[in-house]
Every structure is written in structure tokens, then in C-alpha cells.
Chain A
Amino acid sequence: MSSRRRTTVAFVAAALSTLVALTSTVAAQSPNRELIDGLEYQLLYAALPLTLFVLMILIYAAVKFHDNDDPQPTTEDPALEITWTAATAIILLFVGLSGYSVLVNPYISPSQAIDTDDRSQEGFDSFEDLPDTGDEEVHVRGYQWEWQATYPDANVTTENQIVIPAGEDVTFWLTSDDVIHSLFIPDLGVKQDAFPGDYTRARTVVDEPGRYDVVCAEFCGAGHSRMQGEIVVVDAETYDQWLSENEGTVAEAPNPD
């Protein structure tokens, strides 16, 4: 996707979001967030009027027939029942289809290690065993109560910071040393559980250099509340340079500005 087209898409998405919902936050920073927001608003447009409609009927019925002087016994109206059930079924089908169309996106549901390989889960003993994705890969390890990232190409390690290059597809391979953690980057719409002994994958691409908050979204014990970190997005050049400068060390993330 050319950067201009991407900008246009981002702009249109942003404009749409701002137009239709005042609660909308800043323009989406990643395709993940953009797709999720898009679906969310799509569902919201369907759900809001429907909810209001149902609630209005409900309140109208309650008020209109409050102390009604001429009550009638219940009569069955199968046509009405079938109509409303069918109407809801159609709406739910719409929800399912729009959900599915986003779900299959390779950023939202990247293939997992077991999908691309005949081996079962126990076949993966370490990060090195994992299939190659073609993306820029970062190995992220959660433990009580820190995130540790290693960059396999250069054997660099960072703690509570995950450095990624702007504009490149990135795969986070996640695992945990102890209990379940969940890497959650709200601004990028990325969330994936990290399981002890298993390897899971999250995938995104970020255009704008900057810092994005990381929190743990799965309760992991006494320090869960403080298990925070950040994603540092730098341009590709800075990234490569930073990697080569810090080969084999535990490093601080470069400044994205």
C-alpha cells in the first residue's frame, strides 16, 4: 500500500470516526486499531438506534398502558413473533458477517505457530523453533511483573520497552515464564495473551514514530497493576542503527523524535 493511499485511508477513517461519534479518540495508529474501530462504529450505528427503538417501545408500552381502563386478554400473534425473530436474525447475521470479515484480516488473526506447521504445540521448545514469518520479529517474554523483549537478528534485549521500526510489518512472538500475561497496546488495538510454555503471535504495522503504552491485561498476581511498559516506534534507519550499536547487550530504547 502506498503511503499516500494509506494516508488517504487513514484520513477518511479518521474523518468518518470524528463525524459519526464524538467519543472518537485520535486517528487510528495501526491497521489493527483502524479495523477494530471501524467495526465498532459499524456495530454501534446498528446497535444504538436499535437499542433506542426497543427501549422506546418498552417505555411507551409501560406508560401507555399504565392503569389502562380497558385491558384485553392475551391473544397469540404468530406473525408478529416470527417477524421480530426474523428481523433480529438478520441483524445478528450482519453482525456476524461484518465481524468475520475483519477477523480474517492477517493483522487481526495472524497465523499462529501451530497453524503453519504440522508440529503440535509441544514441538516448539523455544523462540528459535518458531516458523519464520517474513515480518520484523520481536520475542516478548512476560514474567512477574515485567516485559522483556529480544530482537533475534541482533541479540539485543530491552526491558519494559519494545522497539519496533515504523512502516514495517511487525510480529510479536509472546510467551510467559510463569503465569498468563496479556500484552495490551490500547492505542494500536493489539492484545494477545502470553501463555507459559506456549508461543502466541500478535501482528501489526505502525506508521508514526512515537511511544505507545503497554499494559498487562490478564491478572497476574500482586504486581499486576504495575506491569506497564511502552512500545517505542522509530524510523527504520534509527532502528537498524540502534540494533547494530547495541548488539549482544541489554539496551535502552532510542528516542523516537
Chain B
Amino acid sequence: MSDLPPMTSVKRWLVTTNHKDVGILYIATALFFLLLGGVLALLFRAHLWAPGGTGLLETIEFNQAVTAHGLLMVFWFLSPIASGFANYFVPLQIGAKDLAFPRLNALSYWFYLFSGVLMGVSFFQGTTFAGGWTMYAPLNVPSFNTVMEATAGGNATVLALLLFVISITIGTVNFLVTIHRSRAEGLGLWNMPMFTWSWLLTVWMMLFAFAALLAALLLLSIDRVMLTQYFSTDQGSSLLWAHLFWFFGHPEVYIVFFPALGIMFETFQTFTGRRLVGRKWVIIAMVLVAVQSFLVWMHHMFLSAINLEIKTLFMATTIGISLPFDLMVFALIYTMVKGRVRFTTPFLFSLGALVLFILGGITGVFLGAVVLDYEFRGTYWVVAHFHYVMVSGVTALVGGIYYWWPKITGKMYSETLGKLNFAVYFIGFNLLYFPLFLAWETPRRVFHYSEGAQIYHQAATVGAFIFGASFLIMLFTLGKSLLTGPDAPDNPWEYSRTAEWAIPSPPPLENWTDRPSYASGRLEFVDDAAAATDGGVATGHDEATAVDTTHEEHADHASIWPFGIGVGTFVLFLGLSGMTPYVHKFIQGTEHPPEHLASAAAEPSITYPILSLLGVGILGVALFKFGVEEFNVPEMAVAERWPFGGVGNTKLGVWVFLASDVVVFGGAIGAYVFMRLHSGWGNWHLDTITMAGLFNTYVLLTSSFTVILALAFAERKNKKAMLGSMVATVLLAFVFMGVKAFEYSSKFADGHYWFSGIDYSIYFVTTGLHALHVILGVLVALFMIYRIISVDAYLEDHRPVEFFGLYWHFVDIVWVFLFPLFYLM
């Protein structure tokens, strides 16, 4: 399937892998979740009208509303809408025809959409997660809620987040490979447009930060579905979650803010007609922030029992991180000086965003000075601070919608309505969030506040509705433009310099007719066909010319299988969300069920196992079809690829993915070390079979060797020997899994289960996570064996064997770390 149906057909949107289509899907979906999160906010703001609540919401409904509002806005709105812009404009800005892996890009989107659908479904499975968006342990596990009877909704929320993070990880790999390997000729990193720069740094941060969250969410899902004990003990669970979550959580602040900053840079340049002042320093400052963002996470934990030295250290890193931002703010201000400032809607939103960010940033310095946390932490002051920061980001993103709207739709919007939108937005914003600073004595997520704070809460509620109305104005403005707006020229803003403005609005399917190049120092379109025929008249681009590096073969743009994989995963995760009662029942049937799991669980519902199996079925078919589908994505013949010129796209993708997987295992191993240290390194009562572990170590190392053999035989085009080596690898993996099964069953026979205590939880989950990697590897290997037998695969192009080898060696290396940790120490 490769022909793309027209835009008006529903089928187009299900099969498309084109970056611009996927971008539109992201933006539209993100706006939907903005409305959903916004309505939830209006609900609880209305409830907060009077101290003690107006009775609009029950307590549990209030808790669900604030939790879901936070989760939806941070995860399902902020990053995805930026991701939509990046999908659409990063390839355009760097002169590429599409992302490096278009089908994976579609897969990211479907995972995102279905994770959001799962989040929505969770409301109807009893209750959705109601423990706050930070999901602090142990409130995030069933045993400390009355929800032991109804875990499904909370499980679905956590699994939805897990799926969302998987979507982010896939997108991250895709963008890193694309930006590093598909830049037009002459477009060095320093010259990349600022939005692309901000997105590049965003995805680098995402790669590591979201991997930490992935680890945390994996452990949490297993805690909730299988009833392990990572986050339910009183032996350090709370701190373990806080570390894992905030190691992700603080970079996340910059992850959601950087794309907004990129839009501010672009719009300031366009609407002042000037290049950004101190551009190089701004880029360096952003790189500094990206690195330093990983060194400030403990400032979210100042009121735990951390000691003075650590407090001081994190106070220093936190206050220090505002310095690069200060540089960026001044760069923006000085860009206006001596320019020709034009007050268009996108510029007003960007300017407004800068004003709000200055306020949010300075209040952040207050909080960074630790001492004030004794008053402000966990109160509305913090709520006000981070809304000023995050929603100033939203302000710039709304500016981005207006800025790029003519390019995406080919229609102009009404500037009058746009400016009205900005005015209402800005007034609503400040009326909503500023009083929250003054209401600082109200703790967060509380509706029983003192009488004195009522006036502030009422002002905020009024502001919330005005703020909400501004989004209706936005939708009206955009809708009107779509229906009756005049056609947009290529570059309606005149001084826009980036490449997306040099082509028609909206751009054609493959973006360029001629190859964009910056070789001369500015954007030019090179007609390679003409050049190849020695200056002769080009006679049409379909004609094959002598130089096949210039004329790329036909590229595919459509595949239904990303959608299929999305559906399968969704059904599977929905099924998993209701498995807790079965596990609970099993536990009650064992000899010594743990006390904290004594409370009753819901009646198991047969729907969930059926859904799980159905999901596995759909997923299996879709993955297989995805694997055998012919899908042609030509690599750019001429491109800037520093610093990854010597690595192929797929290989770089595998490396980047493995880098994030290192962090996932780092999280799991970190959890082991943290929990063991907390209970005293020597007090660990884990009883494992050392000989089995040692044997398995040899088995895995041998299998690494057989994979190397497979690659060597593939290079020599020796089909039989390659096949033999691959089969040997799979057999060794089966031996490994067999020994593992023996180990697990002998533990069970001794009465040691995954729920028996924190030490056994960690043993089963960590080795289980590794075993899962082995199983995934076996599935890939079996698929490859099938391809070798059926279509003589990998004889011409042996690279897939190499990529599989990389993954397999990684899995082995992980075991080399796990073996001493669990069997020797």
C-alpha cells in the first residue's frame, strides 16, 4: 500500500505516514486534550468558588479532576502540540522530505492517540487515577486507597501514561536521527533555525528523562497489576518514587518549555525583521540548560529528610539554571531594539509569553532559595509559579498556531479576531493565576480553604472562565479562516527566513521539487537533473537520468500497520488494566498472603483476560505485517550529517534507542541499589540459585557469539550457515528462558513470590524485565529466520542482522550487570 488517498478521505488519515499529515493529527489531537483538561479545570475552579467547595463535585471527583487535569495538560497536551509543530516544520526547516522513519512516526502518533483514549476510558472504569499528577508513593498503589476494590481505572491511567511514554521514546529516536542525518547541504548545526534547535535539545532531554519515567511507570504498573511492592513499603518507597519521578520531572519542565521558546525566537525574528541578538550564545545557553536540567531534581524534595549539604548543592544548581534563561530573555528583548516591530497576533502571543515567563522565572528563583519552600511548597504559591511558567509556554504555542496557520492550511485568519483573542487570553490568564500567589496559605488540591482566601479564589475562578473563553475565540477565528479566509501567499510574514516559507502554502506532499541547499550560504533550490545533464533543459523529474544518486526512487507514504499496532496495544493495555483482581485472588490462594493485601478486591471480570488475548492477537498480526511490508524510504543523497556521517539511519536509530534503554535499566538497577541501601545492604534476604545464574551467563555470552557468526556468514552470503547461527541463537535463548523458568518455579515452591517482600519483588521484576527483552529479541530473531527461509533475506543487505546483533549484545551486557547484583552480592 503506497498511494495516499486525498485529504478529504478518512482512510488518508489512518494510513498516512507523511510528516505534515502526522503533524496535523498531533496538533488536532493535542487541542482536543487541551479542551478536555480545560473543562476539568473549569469544573474544579467552579467547585472552589466557596471555602469547602460549592458541592459541585464529590471529594473523589475533585481529586480525579485535579489529577486528570494535571496529567492531561502536561502529557497529552503540552508535549504533543509541540510534537505536532515539530513534525510539520522540523523536516521543512532542515530541508528534508520526511522524517527518517515515517512509519515509526505514524506509530508514535497512534500510540499517543490511543494512550489518550485509554486515559479517557479510565474515567469509566470506576474512577480514574486520583492521587495527584505527581503520583507520589505509596498513595499511587492500591493498598493505601479504598480502591483495592476498583483498581482498573487507576491501572488504565498508569498504563495509558506508559503507552504515552513509549510513543515519546519512538518519536525521540526518529527526530534525533532525522535532525542529525537529514539536513540540507550546507546546513551546519550552528545555522539551524532556532525552532529546530529548541526541538533538537528537547528530544535529547526527552530521550533520557522519559526513559527514567518509563522505568518508574513500568515498576508502578507492575506494582498495580501484579501487586509487587516497589512503591508500597514503608522502607524507602516514597523516596524511590520521588527520585525516579523528579529525575524525569524537572527536565520535563524544560522539555515542555523549549519548543515554546523556539517559537518565540522564530516569531521575534520574523516580526522585528532582525536576526536574534547573540544567537550563538543563546544556543549555548540552551545546551547548558538541557544538561543542567538533569542536576536539579532534588529541589522538589527539599522537605524530605535530605541533609543541609545536599539542600545547598541543589539550591546552587537551581538558582544557577536561571542564568542561561536570563541571557535568552535579554536576547529576545534586544532583538526588538532597532528592529521594525510588527504587532501581529503571533508576535503579541510571543511577547505576552515573554512577560509571563519573566514573572514565572523570577518566582522560580524565590522557590529555588530553599528556605521559602518551608512556606510555599505544596501551596497555591507553587501552583501559581508553575502555571506562570508552563502556561507562558502555552501562550507561545498559541502564537505558534497563528504563526504557522497560513502555512498549514493555506488560509489567512482575521487579525482583528486574533488580537481580540490575545487580549482576552492575557487578561484571563492573569486574573486566573495571579490571585493564586496571594492565596498561598491554601494547600494544593484542597478545597477547604480559609475565609480570607475566598476573594482570591473567586477572582481566579472568574479568570478561569475568561481564559477558557479565549480558547473558544481562538477556535472560532481558526474555523472562520478555514471556511472563508483568503488564500495565504507563500510567505505572508515577509521577513520569515526559514525554509518552510519559501514553498507554497500548504506545501506539496514531498515538500520540494528541487533540492534545497545552503551551500552558498543562503537557501537555494538546486535542480540536480538540470545539473546532471550539463546545463541542458530539464525535461521533467520523472525521467531517469544518468546520475542515480540525485534522482531518488519512489517513496512510500502510506501504511495501515502503525494504526494496527496502535489498536492492538490499546486493546492489550485495556485488558491488562483489569487483571489485578485475578492476581489478588491467586495471592489469597497462596500459603502466606501478605497482610497489606488482605482487603477485598473486585470480582474478576472475564472481559479483561479476553481483551488481553485479543490485543496480543491483533498486535501479533499487525507487527508481522509491518515487518514484511515493503516500505521504501530513500535516504537523502546529499545531506549534512555531522557528527553521525559514518553511521546509517537505522543503526543510529538502534544506538539512540539503546541509549534510552540503558536509562530504563539504570532506573531498575538504581531502584535495587536504593532500596537495598535503605534497608541496610547486608539485611537483604534474597536466596537465589547461583549456579543457575552462572550457567545462564555462559549461555547468553555464547548466544552473543552466535549472533556475531550470523553476521559474518551474512556478509559472506552463506545462507545456510547464517540460518544455522540464527537458529542456534534462538535455541540458546530458549535454554536461558528454560533455566529462568526453573529458577522461578523453585522460588515459588519455596513460597517466595513476587509479592512476598520488596527483595523478591525486585528480583522477579528486574530479571523479568531482562527476560522480556530476551523474549522480544527471540520474536525478532524468529521473524528474521522466517524471512531468511521465505525470501532469502539479508544476503544482499546484511545490516538488519547487525542491528539485531547490537540489541542482542546489549541484552547480554545487561545480564552481566544483573548476575553479580542478584546472585553474588
Contact = CB atoms under 8 A, between A and B. Distances in A.
Contacts of B146: 222
B698 to A, nearest CB: 36
A68 B446 contact: no
A36 B372 contact: yes
Contacts of A76: 277-278
A74 B369 contact: no
A171 interface: no
A194 B136 CA distance: 13
B131 interface: yes
A115 B308 CA distance: 9
Interface in A62-119: 62, 65-69, 71-74, 76-77, 80-81, 84-85, 88-89, 92, 95-96, 98-100, 102-104, 108-109, 112-115
B59 A222 contact: yes
A180 B241 CA distance: 12
Contact of A223 (B59, B138, B679): B59
Contacts of B507: none
A109 B315 CA distance: 14
Given A65-B341, A71-B274, A225-B446, A191 B323 contact: no
A197 interface: yes
Given A43-B366, A122-B235, A112 B307 contact: yes
Nearest to B276: A74
A221 B680 contact: no
B632 to A, nearest CB: 43
Contact of B374 (A84, A92, A189, A213): A189
A152 interface: no
Interface string B298-335: 00000111011001100110011011001101110111
Nearest to A197: B234
Contacts of B362: 47, 50-51
Interface string B119-159: 00000000000111000111100001110000000000000
Contacts of B354: 58
B444 A219 contact: yes
Given A61-B336, A68-B340, A219-B136, A195 B238 contact: yes
A64 B47 CA distance: 44
Interface stretch (B179-187, B244-252, B255-263, B375-383): B375-383
A154 interface: no
In the complex, which range does the number of interface residues on chain B fall in?
35 or more
B358 A55 contact: yes
A219 to B, nearest CB: 4
A14 interface: no
A182 interface: yes
In the complex, which range does the number of interface residues on chain A fall in?
35 or more
A217 interface: yes
A55 B354 CA distance: 9
Interface in B328-350: 329-331, 333-343
Contacts of A54: 329, 333, 358
Interface of A is mostly: mixed
Contacts of B333: 54, 57-58, 61
Contacts of B137: 179-180
Contact of A36 (B130, B329, B374): B374
B139 A179 contact: yes
A153 B53 CA distance: 41
A92 B320 contact: yes
Given A58-B333, A195-B239, A108 B144 contact: no
B790 interface: no
Contact of A191 (B234, B358, B375): B375
Given A47-B365, A218-B136, A120 B375 contact: no
B343 A66 contact: yes
B272 A198 contact: no
B264 to A, nearest CB: 12
Given A186-B441, A228-B448, A103 B315 contact: yes
A179 B144 contact: yes
A77 B279 CA distance: 11
A113 B305 CA distance: 9
B366 A120 contact: no
B374 A196 contact: no
Contact of B327 (A85, A120, A213): A85
Contact of B339 (A43, A68, A224): A68
A120 B450 CA distance: 40
A158 interface: no
Given A81-B330, A102-B371, A122-B678, A109 B443 contact: no
A222 B63 contact: yes
A190 B377 CA distance: 11
A55 B368 CA distance: 22
Nearest to B351: A62
A92 B680 contact: no
Nearest to A96: B319
Contacts of B375: 33, 36, 40, 186, 189, 191
A65 B337 contact: yes
A47 B361 CA distance: 11
A197 B330 contact: no
Interface in A220-234: 220-226, 228
A55 to B, nearest CB: 6
B441 to A, nearest CB: 5
A99 B136 contact: no
A137 B130 CA distance: 35
Nearest to B438: A23
B683 interface: yes
Contacts of A198: 234, 236, 238-239, 305
Interface in A25-63: 32-33, 35-36, 39-40, 43, 47, 50-51, 54-55, 57-58, 61-62
Contacts of A235: none
A18 interface: no
B48 to A, nearest CB: 11
Nearest to A109: B308
B292 to A, nearest CB: 13
A148 B53 CA distance: 26
B275 interface: yes
B581 to A, nearest CB: 21
Nearest to A104: B308
Contacts of A189: 374-375
Residue of A51, A104, A215, A223 contacting most chain B CB atoms (<10 Å) = A215
A12 B734 CA distance: 78
Nearest to B303: A193
B642 interface: no
A99 B370 contact: yes
Contacts of A69: 340
Given A39-B369, A68-B341, A197 B358 contact: no
Contacts of A108: 371, 374
A122 B683 contact: yes
B351 A96 contact: no
A36 B98 CA distance: 54
Interface in A128-155: 144
A197 B236 contact: yes
B600 interface: no
The 8 A-B residue pairs whose C-beta atoms are closest, nearest first, are: A197-B234, A99-B369, A217-B378, A196-B234, A71-B340, A61-B336, A179-B139, A74-B275
Given A40-B375, A50-B362, A226-B448, 9 more contacts: A58-B333, A74-B277, A103-B370, A186-B441, A191-B373, A200-B304, A217-B444, A218-B378, A219-B445
27 contacts: A36-B371, A36-B374, A40-B366, A65-B272, A68-B340, A71-B272, A74-B335, A84-B326, A85-B326, A85-B327, A92-B365, A95-B369, A112-B307, A114-B305, A121-B305, A179-B144, A190-B374, A191-B375, A196-B238, A197-B233, A197-B234, A198-B239, A200-B305, A219-B63, A222-B145, A225-B53, A225-B447
Interface of A: 23, 32-33, 35-36, 39-40, 43, 47, 50-51, 54-55, 57-58, 61-62, 65-69, 71-74, 76-77, 80-81, 84-85, 88-89, 92, 95-96, 98-100, 102-104, 108-109, 112-115, 120-122, 144, 178-180, 182, 184, 186, 189-193, 195-200, 213, 215-226, 228
